[in-house]
Amino acid sequence: MRDSTFSTVRGPDKELVGRPYLCDIQTMRIPTAMALMFCLSLGVATPLPAQEKDKSDAAYIRSMELKWTDSYKQRQVAMLSSLLADDFVITVEDGSTYSKTGYISHSAEPGTRVEVAEMSDLKVCMHGNAAIVTGAYHERGESNGKRYEYHDRLTDVWMKVGGKWQVVASHYSVPAK
């Protein structure tokens, strides 16, 4: 007969005590299986706080993208300045790059009138305190008396620094036809 704590080996003239059994596998199978099923059910039934935070941050970033577009169209320099990080850089359709100051100056030019500025197909991918936004952008207006229209693809990078989300980089390109 086996003791549940130690195994015993009997020899011709002595009894040896072997290593201890830490647990009885047969007895532990059912409770272990039940505990595993319970833990798995908790993981499925309870949303992870990080996933919920990512969803709310993604919705916030999406709303800030729309606010940025509207601020650009309306030439709201103060709003643009608050949305863009100090080290912001944008690459536009012709490959030119602008800093925060250059972009805001360009946006406020009196010779440019934006009639349509709209985004579509926005996708936000969260990476902790960073967010990558991809989508489509359509802009139509007049610049220095000439009509223009853009249909672009965009990639924007947002970072949360000091509790505040700001755009740090943006890239616009014309899709191949």
Specify the pairing of strand 164-173 against strand 84-91: parallel
Per-residue pLDDT tens digits for 100-139: 999 999 899 999 999 999 999 999 999 999 999 999 999 9
Q: For 17-74, write each residue's pLDDT tens digit.
A: 555 545 555 555 556 556 555 555 555 444 545 567 678 999 999 999 999 999 999 9
Residue spans of the domains in the chain: they are 6-45, 49-173
**pLDDT in the model for residue 55:** 84
pLDDT value at residue 162:
92
What is the third-level CATH fold of 49-173? Nuclear Transport Factor 2; Chain: A, (3.10.450)
pLDDT given at position 176: 85
> What is the pLDDT at residue 45?
45
Res 155: pLDDT:
98
Q: What is the dihedral of CA 159, 93, 123, 73, to 10 degrees?
A: 80
pLDDT at residue 177, as a whole number: 78
Instruction: Give pLDDT, residue 138.
Output: 97
pLDDT in tens, 140-173: 999 999 999 999 999 999 999 999 999 999 999 9
pLDDT at 134: 98
Using a CB cutoff of 8 Å and minimum separation of 24, what contacts does 92-101 make? 92/172, 93/150, 93/152, 93/172, 93/173, 93/174
Which of 155, 151, 156, 158 lies closest to 174, judged by CA? 151
Residue 76: phi and psi, rounded to 5, are: -85, 85
Token match 């919705």: residue? 59
pLDDT for the residue numbered 29: 57
